[in-house]
Chain A
């Protein structure tokens, strides 16, 4: 009985180990996420509305990747991408809205 339990436990642990290995981000995942974030930030630069926090988050993402922390690096890259997209959306919106603020 005890032997069976140990075998079951070993199986569960090995499956869990495989699963977590499969879920962990790799260097390639980072590269893909970082490239997407950089492309979004390039869009922000094109409309001349880069945000400081986006630049800082990109740097943090790169630093995490350099330290081998790819899970963190991917999350940070995704966050940077979202920030860059928000700055582009702001710039597009302001193209229409700024005249409303002019003193008349």
Chain B
């Protein structure tokens, strides 16, 4: 009798394992569909491609201001600087273009990528610094200035191209995607906010004077010129600012968590056009 009971328990425990695993597993295709439907159902008047314009897709008054500002875009000088930097050879004679497919022109929509060799997510910013280091140059700060200029130029050459993020058939890639999703939905900081608290639950609503952007397409506008910064900032800079705003100590720029959440959100934006560099209040 005891033996039978033990066997029954063992069988039940074995059967429960896949259920427990499934609870934390990810199904990117199904999640992509659900994510897209959530936003299109909630904002039926917003054209799908317009979500990449963040708060301007949510608020007509803000949109008018943006259109006026964009007649003389504040990021123009930065794009020019990035273009010049991009074309200037390193000390060894090579250029950034030598590190990328198609010489780095019109490739921004393919980043972040999962790198099978390192087992890590490689964002465009990380790829640029890897390029510099491979050519004997010091890496740039990941938050602004030179890095923002380079990524602004590269985004500019990709404008209108649909985001094209792949999750290869590699459990580490799926793990990175899942980690990114976890980071996005996890509450943190003294205010007990997650990224989703603002960008899923409250897009279009005001947080003090800011109109919150929808999570759908939020990466497509990066890097951004932000009036509150008085300059350009990268994805890392934006994520660090988000952390600070909810009372959390920001992580180092391009930390694994930031790379993974960029991977997750960029995958969710697949098919939507690159609109970066962007302008934000």
A71→B186 CA distance, assembly (Å): 37
A52 within 8 A of B: yes
**Other 17 A-B pairs with CB < 8 A, given A51-B189, A94-B186:** A49-B188, A50-B249, A51-B190, A51-B248, A52-B190, A52-B247, A52-B248, A52-B249, A90-B187, A91-B188, A94-B187, A98-B182, A98-B186, A98-B187, A102-B185, A103-B31, A103-B35
A103 proximity list for chain B (CB < 8 A): 31, 34-35, 38, 200
Q: A101-B196, A102-B31 are contacts. A94–B188 as well, Cβ < 8 Å?
A: yes
Chain A nearest Cβ from B197, distance in angstroms? 8
Q: 26 A-B contacts, Cβ less than 8 Å apart?
A: A48-B257, A49-B189, A49-B248, A51-B189, A51-B190, A51-B249, A52-B244, A52-B247, A52-B248, A53-B190, A53-B247, A90-B187, A90-B192, A94-B186, A94-B187, A98-B182, A98-B187, A99-B23, A99-B24, A101-B185, A101-B200, A102-B31, A102-B181, A103-B31, A103-B35, A104-B34
Contact with A along B180-211 (1 / 0, CB 8 A): 01100111111010101000100000000000
User: For chain A residues 70-104, which have a beta carbon within 8 Å of chain B?
Assistant: 83, 87, 90-91, 94, 97-99, 101-104
The answer to whether B249 touches A55 (Cβ under 8 A) is yes
Question: Whole-angstrom distance between the alpha carbons of A57 and B24 in the complex?
Answer: 36
Residue in chain B with minimal CB distance to A51? B190
User: Chain B contacts of A94 at CB under 8 A?
Assistant: 186-188
CA distance A5 to B65 in the complex (A): 80
Indicate if B251 sits at the interface (CB-CB under 8 A). Answer: yes
Q: Say yes or no: B194 contacts A98, CB within 8 Å.
A: yes
Chain B positions within 8 Å of A53 at CB level? 190, 247
| Residues on the B chain within 8 Å of A99, using CB | 23-24, 185
Question: Does the CB pair A52–B189 fall under 8 Å?
Answer: yes
Quote the shortest CB–CB distance from B91 to chain A (angstroms). Answer: 38
Interface size range on A against B: 10 to 19
For the complex formed, measure the closest distance between the CB of A33 and the CB atoms of chain B, giving whole angstroms. 21
Chain B residue at minimal CB-CB distance from A100: B185
Q: Residues 219-234 of chain B: 1 if any A CB is under 8 Å from the residue's CB, otherwise 0?
A: 0000000000000000
Residues in chain B near residue A51, CB distance under 8 A: 189-190, 247-249
Residues in A whose Cβ lies below 8 Å from that of B192: 90
Closest to B187 in A: A94
- A98 to B186: give the CA distance in the assembly, Å: 5
Provide the residues of chain A in CB contact with B196, threshold 8 Å: 101
Chain A residues near B34: list those with CB within 8 A: 103-104
With A98-B186, A98-B194 as contacts: A50 and B248 at CB distance below 8 Å: yes
Determine the chain A residues whose CB is within 8 A of the CB of B185 once the complex forms: 98-99, 101-102
Residues of A within 8 A of B257 (CB): 48
Residues 28-45 of chain B, each 1 if its beta carbon lies under 8 Å from chain A, else 0 = 000100110010000000
In this complex, the member of A53, A87, A98, A103 whose beta carbon has the largest number of chain B beta carbons within 10 angstroms is A103
Given the complex, which residues of B lie within 8 Å of A83, measured CB to CB?
Answer: 190
Taking CB atoms, residues of chain A closer than 8 Å to B187 are 90, 94, 97-98
Report chain B residues within 8 Å CB of A55.
249
Q: Which residue of B lies closest to A97 (CB)?
A: B187
Kindly identify which residue among A48, A90, A91, A101 contacts B251, using a CB–CB cutoff of 8 Å.
A48
Please give me the 9 A-B residue pairs with the lowest Cβ-Cβ distance, nearest first: A50-B249, A98-B185, A101-B185, A98-B186, A103-B38, A51-B190, A94-B186, A103-B34, A52-B247
User: Which chain A positions have C-beta within 8 A of B38?
Assistant: 103
Q: Which residues of A contact B247 (CB under 8 A)?
A: 51-53
Return A96 CB to nearest CB of chain B, in Å: 10
